[in-house]
């Protein structure tokens, strides 16, 4: 289940999220099972995040960093993954 504290930081916007990620790089991000449909995530640093079963339908993920993230059973239907890092 998603970490509510991390989810609340993400809801504050990509700038706040990315700044938090820079300060807490070694912390494991758990957004598993979260409904992220209403959160614009273009350019978000989601590297090494647990996004298992996350609902990302129709989410703007343009330029997001998703490298080494767990996207097992995540719903990405209609998501914009243009220039996203999925390595």
Per-residue pLDDT of the chain (87 residues; tens, 9 = 90+): 999 999 999 999 999 999 999 999 888 999 999 999 989 999 999 999 999 999 999 999 999 999 999 999 999 999 999 999 998
Q: Report the alpha-carbon distance of residue 52 to residue 58 in Å, rounded.
A: 17
Q: Are 45 and 27 in contact (CB under 8 A)?
A: no
Give 72's DSSP letter. Answer: T
Residue 79: both structure tokens together: 């998501």
CATH architecture of the domain with residue range 1-87: 3 Solenoid (2.160)
For 34, the 3-state DSSP assignment is coil
> For the whole model, what pTM was predicted?
0.94
């Amino acid at each position: 289940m998603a970490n509510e504290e991390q989810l609340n930081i993400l809801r504050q916007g990509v700038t706040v999220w990315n700044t938090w990620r820079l300060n807490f790089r070694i912390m494991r991000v758990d957004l598993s099972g979260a409904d992220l449909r209403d959160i614009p995530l273009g350019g978000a640093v989601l590297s090494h995040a647990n996004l298992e079963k996350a609902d990302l339908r129709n989410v703007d993920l343009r330029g997001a960093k998703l490298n080494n993230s767990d996207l097992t059973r995540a719903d990405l239907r209609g998501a914009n993954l243009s220039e996203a890092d999925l390595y």
